[in-house]
Amino acid sequence: MRTILLRLVHYLIALGEFLRYLVLFAPSQAFVFARKSAQTPLSIQSDSKSLKKLPSHVGLLVAEDDFSFKDLANMIVWSVSLGISYLTIYDINGEIKRNSLLLQRNIDESKEHVMGHDSSHYDIQLFSSSHPLVHRSTGTSKSRHCCVHLLCVEDGQRKIVNMSRHLSDLVCRGSYSLQDIQPCNVDSFFQESMQFPDPELCVKFGNVDSLLGYLPWQVRLTEFISLPSHKGISYKSFLSSIVQFGNTAQRFGK
């Protein structure tokens, strides 16, 4: 009896969530289909100028079972055009990491599509721990540069354990003192080894409300914003999460 009631409550919530999704997200998607190529590099850059605050590192946490590399590639290209310099793309099982070449192909297509002849001005590099440098496109010195890191669960807690091993090694060899193991020093070690600053914003896709192992050292001040799915995501809803980030104030403990 109680179980049935609880199930009923959960079905009702699921229905409510679905209706909310229909009202909030579906119209914007339908709208985008009607006028597909609305964004040009210029329009994106003007959007970027109207933002109150632009994050330099954005994490995309995909907590869904299947992936659309086309939509991931679109988000990467939009981010680069907005002026974001670091991206991390995370899925717990490393599915995206394994398919980095597929993602690369989709990025090239998307770049062509969004930016047209400007695409050579944008330099997008893919990194992952299994392929330190997957692809390096030849960009001119004037080009905008963005590092995209593909991460999975191995890049989470395990990296902290590895750092602990590394520091133990240094301490044993006498080249580092125990008292120097302090948050600010260890943080600079992490930045050096991971090659990116802490993410300021993490956009989480899917209906699991958990970090699922995403960068436990780096998420200290990261703002988390959830979107229902990355599949078929429109530029508008992606931009809205970055606008929302710009509107929040952080107090850093004060």
Partner 1 sequence: MSWFPQKRESTWLQRACEAVLSAGPIPRHVAIIMDGNRRFAVKNSLAKSEGHVKGFDKLAETLEWCLDLGITEVTVYAFSIENFKRSPDEVNCLMELSRQKFARLLQEKDLIHQHGVCVRILGDISRLPSDLQELLAEAVSISANNKRAILNVCFAYTARDDMCMAMRDVADGVKKGLIKKSDISEYLFEKCLYTSHCRDVDLLIRTSGEIRLSDFLMWESSFSCLAFVKVLWPDFSIWHLYAAILHYQRNHGKIQIARQNNAIERQRLQRESDLKCVMEEEEEDKSGVNTKDNPAGSSGKDSPSGVAEQKNVQSRVQHYKEVREKRVEEFLRTVHSKRKQFWTSLALSPSDVTLKPSQSVSVC
Strands (DSSP E) found in 63-158: 86-90, 122-128, 144-151
Q: How many residues does the chain have?
A: 254
Q: Residues 51, 54, 153, 227: which binds partner 1 (CB under 8 A)?
A: 153
> Near partner 1 by CB under 8 A, which window of 31-39, 118-126, 130-138, 160-168?
160-168
Considering the complex, state which of residue 123 and residue 176 has its C-beta at the smaller distance from partner 1: 176
Binding flag, residue 52, partner 1 (CB under 8 A): no
Binding flag, residue 167, partner 1 (CB under 8 A): yes
Binding flag, residue 161, partner 1 (CB under 8 A): yes
User: Per-residue DSSP letters for 3-47?
Assistant: HHHHHHHHHHHHHHHHHHHHHHTHHHHHHHHHTTT---HHHHHHH
Considering the complex, state which of residue 120 and residue 210 has its C-beta at the smaller distance from partner 1: 210
User: Per-residue DSSP letters for 200-212?
Assistant: SEEEEESS--S-T
Q: Measured between alpha carbons, how far is 149 from 199 in angstroms, rounded to an integer?
A: 12
- Three-state secondary-structure class, residue 61: strand
Binding flag, residue 254, partner 1 (CB under 8 A): yes
Considering the complex, state which of residue 102 and residue 153 has its C-beta at the smaller distance from partner 1: 153
Instruction: Please give the structure tokens belonging to residue 199.
Output: 């993410």
Binding flag, residue 49, partner 1 (CB under 8 A): no
Site pattern 65..84 for partner 1 (x: CB under 8 A): --------------------
- Residue pointed to by tokens 């299994």: 130
Site pattern 187..206 for partner 1 (x: CB under 8 A): x-------------------
For 52-65, b/e burial (b = at least 16 CB within 10 A) is eebbebbbbbbbbe
Interface of this chain with partner 1, residues 214 to 243, rule: CB under 8 A: 214, 216-217, 219-225
Q: Measured between alpha carbons, how far is 206 from 152 in angstroms, rounded to an integer?
A: 16
Q: How many residues bind partner 1 (CB under 8 A)?
A: 53
Q: Measured between alpha carbons, how far is 216 from 160 in angstroms, rounded to an integer?
A: 8
Binding flag, residue 171, partner 1 (CB under 8 A): yes
Site pattern 89..128 for partner 1 (x: CB under 8 A): ---xx-----------------------------------
Binding flag, residue 250, partner 1 (CB under 8 A): yes
Q: Measured between alpha carbons, how far is 99 from 18 in angstroms, rounded to an integer?
A: 31
Q: Measured between alpha carbons, how far is 231 from 228 in angstroms, rounded to an integer?
A: 9
* Residues at the contact surface with partner 1, assessed by CB under 8 A: 2-3, 5-6, 9-10, 13-14, 63, 92-93, 153, 156-158, 160-161, 163-165, 167-169, 171-172, 178, 181-183, 186-187, 207-214, 216-217, 219-225, 248, 250, 252-254
